Each structure stands twice: as C-alpha cells, then as structure tokens.
Amino acid sequence: MNWDDLRILLALVRSGSLTRASYTLGIDQSTVGRRLSALEAALGTTLFLRSKSGLIPTEVGEKLISDAVEMERRAERITQTAASPAKEPVGELRILGDHWVLAHLAEHFLPSLLRLYPKLSVRLSSGCPAASSWTAATVSLWFEDPPQMGEFAIKLTDVPFALYAARTQNADRLGWVSMLDDSGSRRLPAKVLERLRKRDEPVHIVGNDPGLLQVSIRSGLGKGLLPTCIADKDQGLSRVGGQETQFERSLHLHVHPDTVQTLRVQTAIRQLREAAKELFGSIIMEDDRGQRVKQHVQNRERAA
C-alpha cells in the first residue's frame, strides 16, 4: 500500500462517490474505481458499501480511514514546516456555505486574505450543510443549521435582513418572492415572510438563494427579504416598510475538532472573526440612503 492509495480512500469518504472523488483528485472515474477495487483485493476486505445515497465505509474501512487521516496530518505538518518556516499557512482551505455568502466572501474578503497569505488556496463549495468525520481543512458558514457530525459552532456576527422592492415599483401593489431552502428547513426568512404577507398577496417567485431573489425583486417580480449587505448596494432596489420588516440572522462558523488546529483553519477563523461584522453588517441607516451607500462603497474600495 502506498500514500496514493490512501489519498483515494480519503477522497472517496470525503466526497461520498466515485464521480466527486475523481473530480477532487483530477483523475477519471474508472481509475478511481479500479484503484479502490485493487486496494480492497490487496487487503482482502471490503472498505465501502455501495448504496443509493453513495459510498458508506465498512467497519474495517473506518479504521483504515482513521489511520489515513492521522498520516495526512503528519504529512501536512512536514509540508507546512518545509514550505513555510515562518509559519505562514500553506495549502488548500475549503469554505462551505450558502452561495450568496461565498460570493460575498469572494468579492470582499478573499482578495485581502490571499494577499496576506499567498501560499494559501481556497476552494468554495455551496449547498446544504454537511460534514465528514474525516474532513479536510474546512470551515463552514451557516445560519440556523446545527453543527454536523462532531463539529462545533462559533458565532461570527448577526446579519441584518430587510424588505426590498424595485425602486420603480409600488411595493403595496406587488406580490412576493420567497426563499425555499434545499435542506427543507423552515428558516427565519420564511417565518418572517409568513408574518408579513397578507392572505391575498401571491408568491410569484421561490428561490433557494438571495442572489436569485435579488434579481427577481429588481426586475419587479415581487418584493422580498434580502441581506442588507448585498441589497443596500443595489441601486435598483429600495427598502420598504419599517422596523417590523427588519430582522437579524446569526451567522455561525462550523469547524471539526480534527482539523481545527491546522494553521489554515486557525488563520481562517481569526480572519473571519475580525472581518465578519464589517462584511455582513448593515451598511446604511434609514435616512440619507444614497450618500451613505456611496460613502460605504468608497471606504471598502480604499480598504481593498
């Protein structure tokens, strides 16, 4: 057995399928399947059970994976020391979260992070919350979702939301656009919409990401609830309603104990905690809207 066999094993358990593992490793799916079969034949045991939901490690597979994770950590410490004696983070950091959160980080956070730490690379993955006991160096950003499979949560900040409509539209004459999360959870925006929506007001658009709703609202398809950190910068939108249409969601950072001590994860936690309030906070007050938005954007551009 060699390290490449264990890399394939880890890629399979972290991705859950041959297809995703092949993408991660940069090799074709048939090669991954052939290498797994050869490894199982050499060991004389089955490492994964195949199911409709993906690959599930057997008891023997779990033991081997635990050993592979420990080997990976030791290899990472050696690589980190050799590549960066000054203890600068090196290698890939994975960030999971809602699509709009990752897009916001890509625009306003990652440029400065990668300027500070040029030996770091970032892999962004959006979707529903999920975690693995054998996870790579990963941090996840979620709202109401509980930590998964042994992770723990750190509160980053409260993210303000408000009600918006197209600047050219009368909000009282519009129906609604609504969030529908793929995880099936009944999240806070849905609960607030239920409270605000009148019985005869239709819901015209349902989407699973605020970015989609933002475009729909700007197009005049309805009014809806959006994070103020993205909606207040949109010159095609206006806040409508008063305090009763505003609320906050707590954004948490989830991390697994197995990787929290890696320098990449420690760096990400520190930088995100320092930047979260500025990144996701409200950027305007109710009055002098246009001037405040302009000033805030200029400040961010100077900081970048």
Same structural domain for residues 153 and 167? no
Give bridge partners of residue 163 from the DSSP assignment. Answer: 225
AA identity, residue 50: R
Given a contact cutoff of 8 angstroms between Cβ atoms, the answer to whether 272 and 156 are in contact is yes
CA 191 to chain centre: 22
Co-location of 176 and 223 in the same domain? yes
Question: 295 pLDDT exceeds 60?
Answer: no
Are 77 and 126 members of one domain? no
pLDDT reported for residue 247: 94
Q: How confident is the model at residue 24 (pLDDT cuts 50, 70, 90)?
A: low
Do 152 and 263 belong to one domain? yes
pLDDT-derived band at 99 (thresholds 50, 70, 90) equals: very high
Model pLDDT, residue 292: 42
Give residue-wise pLDDT tens across range 71-84.
776 766 666 566 55
Co-location of 77 and 9 in the same domain: yes
Please tell me the distance from the alpha carbon of residue 237 to that of residue 251, in angstroms, as a whole number: 24
Do residues 103 and 121 both lie within one domain? yes
Query: Residue length, the chain?
Result: 304
pLDDT (tens digit per residue) in 162-188 = 999 999 999 999 999 998 765 555 688
Q: Are residues 55 and 72 in the same domain?
A: yes
**pLDDT band, very low/low/confident/very high, at 51 (cuts 50, 70, 90):** confident
The confidence band for 300, taking pLDDT boundaries of 50, 70 and 90, is very low
Q: Bridge-partner residues for 74, per DSSP?
A: none
Helix H or strand E segment including 207:
strand 203-207
Question: Do 132 and 189 fall within a single domain?
Answer: no
What is the DSSP code (8-state) at residue 121? E
Q: State yes or no: pLDDT of 197 exceeds 80.
A: yes
Q: What is the pLDDT of residue 182?
A: 56
DSSP code per residue over 79-96: HHHHH-TT----EEEEEE
Contacts of 118 (CB under 8 A, 6+ apart): none
pLDDT at position 131 is 45
Report pLDDT for 59: 86
* Final residue of a structural domain among 29, 59, 83: 83
Asked if the model's pLDDT at residue 154 lies above 70, the reply is: yes
Q: Which helix (H) or strand (E) holds 228?
A: helix 228-231
CA 1/CA 8 separation, integer angstroms: 12
For residues 261-283, average pLDDT: 89
* Percentage of residues of the chain with pLDDT beyond 70: 80
150 plus 266 within the same structural domain: yes
- Mean pLDDT across 87-115: 92
Contact indicator for 109, 275 with CB cutoff of 8 Å: yes
Q: In this predicted structure, what is the pLDDT of residue 261?
A: 80
Query: What are residue 13's phi and psi, to 5 degrees?
Result: -70, -30
Contact 162, 246 (CB under 8 A): yes
Same domain for 245 and 256, yes or no, is no
Can you count the helices (H) and strands (E) in the chain? 11, 11
Cα–Cα distance for residue pair 193/179, rounded to 1 Å: 9
Quick one: which of 273, 268, 256, 260 has its CA closest to 152? Answer: 256
What mean pLDDT comes out for the span 183-204? 84
DSSP per residue, 178-191: EE--TT----HHHH
For residue 287, pLDDT over 60 is answered with no
Q: Report the distance separating Cα 13 and Cα 67, nearest Å.
A: 13
- Domain count for the chain, please give it: 3
